[in-house]
Structure 1
Amino acid sequence: MDQVTLNCAELTTREVNAALAALPDGSRARILEPWGRHNLAVGLVNRITVEIEGNAGYFIGGLGDGPDVVVDGFVGWSAGENLMSGTVRVRGNASECTGASAHGGAVIVEGDASSRAGISLKGGTVLVGGDVGHMSGFMAQAGVMLVGGDAGHALGDSLYETVIYVAGSIASLGSDARAEDLTDDDVLTVKQLAALAGFDHIDPENVTRVASARQLYNFDALKDQRY
């Protein structure tokens, strides 16, 4: 297994990402002294593990299709944006728009995430151990979110088919979002999500399920099919 160390104090972001992209599947890489650097480990399609040792900036692990990225620190906006597969794990807090438009894979924040976590989610998984800010899950279309703490105002505003599970309190629900009864399948799903994230503080039988009330839909997906 190849293992490399890349130092942001010596390399540009383009050089770091080019070196990561050239690694064969199964490789490991350590990125040192990120110092809030943006756009690290973006656009990778190889199945590698990347450890970023320190706080990082915007769009960490974005557009990934395979790698597992771990940040030992905080991150800025849009960690894991447009993720296709693989994981982005943040061992600290995350700023706004965590997991924005993620199509697959998992974005895991062990601390808190700011506003609009999971915005326009398109099939990915967003797991937050702590709290999320206002308008999280805004226009989320598919996929699932799990919040281990509290959720801010307007949770799930304009929600489509994403399901959001919240272990703590919810300040308010957004337009067309509603709380629903848990099923046995929901409890099993929450158990699996918590295990994936390594969250041991969540009681799967005592979470709130938030889903779409489907009152803002202006089309019938089946009726409007064109053959």
Structure 2
Amino acid sequence: MDTLNAGGVRLSCADLTTREINAALAELPDGAEARIEEPWGRHNLAVGLTNRITIDIDGNAGYFIGGLCDGPDITVDGFVGWSVGENLMSGSVRVRGNVSECAGASAHGGTIIIHGDASSRAGISLKGGTVLVGGDVGHMSGFMAQAGTMLVGGDAGHALGDSLYEAVIYVAGKIASLGSDAKVENLTDSDVLRVKQLIDLAGFDHIDPQNVKRVASARQLYNFDALKDQKY
């Protein structure tokens, strides 16, 4: 384990177990920097952290990168597997390459930025987080997204926003099909401003904020009435 500036560390997956790496990250003070080297597809890196640190993962990583975190800012200089940023509470996870299934699943807060493509079910059960994808997303993305925002800079696969609740999905490219209870709504001035802010946050330069589609819930599945359905 080598030392970096600002009290940070350099951690090698060739020398340390995942548990050892995550324990070392958890002990760093707020404002520190860490670099994880030779990840070689390692799963579960930088998970469950609550300190406000900056982490750079130097290469491709595996499943659940940055999951269950509440504070750190993580950058992956490569591709990642399933469920990047799963259950993220605050902070950010930025992936310079493509990601696999379920990116940002159940994220309550924070921001997940994907410069490449995301596979199916991106933003599944989103609960308030922000998922920004520069490229395409696969089928069932935004499935049961309850709150939060998604921005897709490319095309969206089939059944986008199936069973969508109060989350909003902006799509710059084509939509293969909408899921149950999802609909395209008119873009407002506030939407254009919001998309511009998201583009600036992500650092994307290929999206026209005035030429995206706004996908939201049609609210036809909002049919539960607690008083009506209560049994006496």
TM bin, normalised by shorter chain, reads over 0.9
Q: Which of these residues, 171, 189, 202, is aligned with residue 197 of structure 1?
A: 202
Shift of 1:77: 0.2
**Unaligned 5+ runs, structure 1:** none
Pairing 1:139–2:144 present: yes
**2:116 corresponds to which residue?**
111
Identity over aligned pairs, percent: 83
Q: Pick the structure with greater CA Rg.
A: 2
d(CA) in 2 for partners of 1:12 and 1:220? 51
Q: Give the corresponding residue for 1:208.
A: 213
Q: CA RMSD for the aligned pairs?
A: 1.4
- Which residue does 1:155 correspond to in 2? 160
Matched, 1:18 2:23: yes
CA distance in 1, matches of 2:33, 2:80: 21
Instruction: Structure 2: state its 5+ residue gaps.
Output: 1-5
Post-superposition Cα deviations, 1:83-109, rounded to whole Å, max 9, x if no partner, equal 000000000000000000000000110
User: For 1:159, what is the secondary structure of its paired residue?
Assistant: coil
Aligned residue identity for 1:95: S
Distance (Å, rounded) in 2 between the aligned partners of 1:64 and 1:186: 28
State the aligned residue count.
224
Aligned to 1:50: 55
1:62 to 53, 63, 67: 67
2:199 partner SS: helix
TM-aligned CA deviation for residue 220 of structure 1:
5.6
What amino acid is aligned across from residue 178 of structure 2 in structure 1?
L
- 1: CA distance, partners of 2:225 / 2:103: 30
Aligned-residue offset at 1:16: 0.1
Q: TM-score, normalised by structure 1?
A: 0.97
What is the CA-CA distance between 1:181 and the residue it aligns to?
Answer: 0.2
Give the corresponding residue for 1:178.
183
Distance 2:176 2:198 in 1: 23
2:35: which partner in 1?
30
